[in-house]
């Protein structure tokens, strides 16, 4: 369900690196050439390009990029060029250091990646920042948010299909009881949301819906301005319907006065090799406008061209 379009005949690695070097040199930067290469290579190919470029020219490709381009276009190219786990580590570090209750990035990384992917993110974080993701989250996040986010980013969930229906029923009752008493930061809620496998958690949430006549997210809207409730809803939506979750992030990034470029860039660069096609379909269904058209109407220049390339525009 990726939107990334890689040419059927990919040029030789040396040719890609040579053309990138040419794009950076001279009086002006050839932004179109940068997009035509990096915007149409998958993660393994980009990783190989970075290594070959460094070996050939004695300079990290990311350094060459930051020296030659800037602004939203630079951020989009840099995030995209990074290995997926390294990209998530960078996003997590930015979020942890400047954390505020309304920032959903840690939830997105912890809840929309698989167990092996999240483990790779933690390894990449170690390598890049010489600290653990968990300790940085614990150092910068406070209160119920810390109780929730530290175990979320530390988790390694079982990914098998097995479901214990009796457990799903009992834990649905526990969730309902705690939410009914507005004990949103209760240890039991956090234990269930941060440790259960996706299959088990989905069974519990379905049982909640069947038993109490409405989805759990409805009960978590008791106070729409409560950021912790918003975070709990984000956890659940990232697990149950990531395409619709990220559609909403993209929609809110584009809607209103001014564009939230960071959120729009994050959605497109992190999902282009995963499920951006499903996100595009959800956006079209929800807004009756193609996501490509909305992005083109709200962005401009090389930044727009880069995002549209990752969206799969011909």
Cα 115 to Cα 112: distance, rounded to the nearest angstrom:
10
3-state helix/strand/coil string of 21-72: HHHHCCCCCCHHHHHHHHCCCCHHHHHHHHHHHHHHHCCCHHHHHHHHCCHH
259 is in an annotated binding site: no
Q: Are 77 and 69 in contact (CB under 8 A)?
A: yes
Q: How many whole angstroms from its chain centre is CA 37?
A: 23
Cα 64 to Cα 283: distance, rounded to the nearest angstrom:
35
Cα atoms in the Cβ-side hemisphere of radius 13 Å centred on 55: 9
265 is in an annotated binding site: no
Q: Which of 114, 203, 115, 131 is nearest to 161 (CA)?
A: 203
Q: Return the sign of the alpha-carbon dihedral for residues 60, 63, 64, 69.
A: positive
Residue with tokens 């519990």: 204
254 is in an annotated binding site: yes
228 is in an annotated binding site: no
92 is in an annotated binding site: no
102 is in an annotated binding site: no
Q: Which of 91, 62, 6, 76 is nearest to 306 (CA)?
A: 76
Cα 82 to Cα 47: distance, rounded to the nearest angstrom:
8
Cα 140 to Cα 196: distance, rounded to the nearest angstrom:
25
Phi, psi (degrees; rounded to nearest 5) at 97: -70, -35
Residue 273 DSSP one-character state = T
- Taking the CB of residue 5, how many other CB atoms lie within 10 A of it? 15
258 is in an annotated binding site: yes
Q: Return the sign of the alpha-carbon dihedral for residues 137, 140, 144, 147.
A: positive
188 is in an annotated binding site: no
* Binding positions for Ca(2+): 24, 26, 28, 68, 254, 258, 296, 298-299, 304
* Binding positions: 24, 26, 28, 68, 254, 258, 296, 298-299, 304
């Amino acid at each position: 369900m990726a939107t990334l379009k890689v040419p059927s005949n990919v040029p030789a690695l040396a040719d890609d690196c040579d053309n990138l070097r040419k794009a950076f040199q001279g009086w002006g930067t050839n932004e179109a050439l940068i997009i035509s290469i990096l915007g149409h290579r998958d993660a393994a190919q980009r990783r190989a390009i970075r290594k070959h470029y460094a070996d050939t020219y004695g300079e990290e490709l990311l350094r060459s990029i930051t020296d030659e381009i800037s602004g939203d276009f630079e951020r989009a190219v840099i995030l995209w060029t990074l290995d997926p786990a390294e990209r998530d580590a960078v996003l997590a570090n930015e979020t942890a250091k400047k954390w505020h209750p309304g920032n959903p990035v840690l939830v997105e990384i912890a809840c929309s990646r698989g167990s092996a992917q999240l483990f790779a993110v933690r390894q990449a974080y170690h390598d890049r920042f010489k600290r653990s993701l968990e300790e940085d989250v614990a150092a910068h996040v406070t209160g119920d948010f810390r109780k929730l986010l530290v175990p979320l980013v530390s988790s390694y969930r079982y990914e098998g299909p097995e479901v214990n229906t009796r457990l799903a029923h009992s834990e649905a009752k526990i969730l309902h009881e705690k939410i009914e008493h507005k004990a949103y930061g209760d240890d039991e809620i956090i234990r269930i949301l941060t440790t259960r496998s996706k299959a088990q958690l989905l069974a519990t949430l379905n049982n909640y819906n069947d038993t109490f006549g409405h989805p759990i997210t409805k009960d978590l809207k008791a106070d729409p301005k409560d950021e912790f409730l918003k975070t709990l809803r984000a956890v659940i939506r990232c697990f149950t319907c990531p395409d619709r979750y990220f559609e909403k992030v993209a929609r809110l990034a584009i809607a209103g006065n001014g564009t939230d470029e960071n959120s729009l860039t994050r959605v497109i660069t992190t999902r282009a090799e995963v499920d951006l096609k499903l996100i595009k379909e959800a956006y079209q269904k929800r807004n009756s406008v193609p996501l490509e058209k909305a992005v083109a109407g709200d962005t401009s220049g090389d930044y727009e061209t880069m995002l549209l390339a990752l969206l799969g525009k011909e």
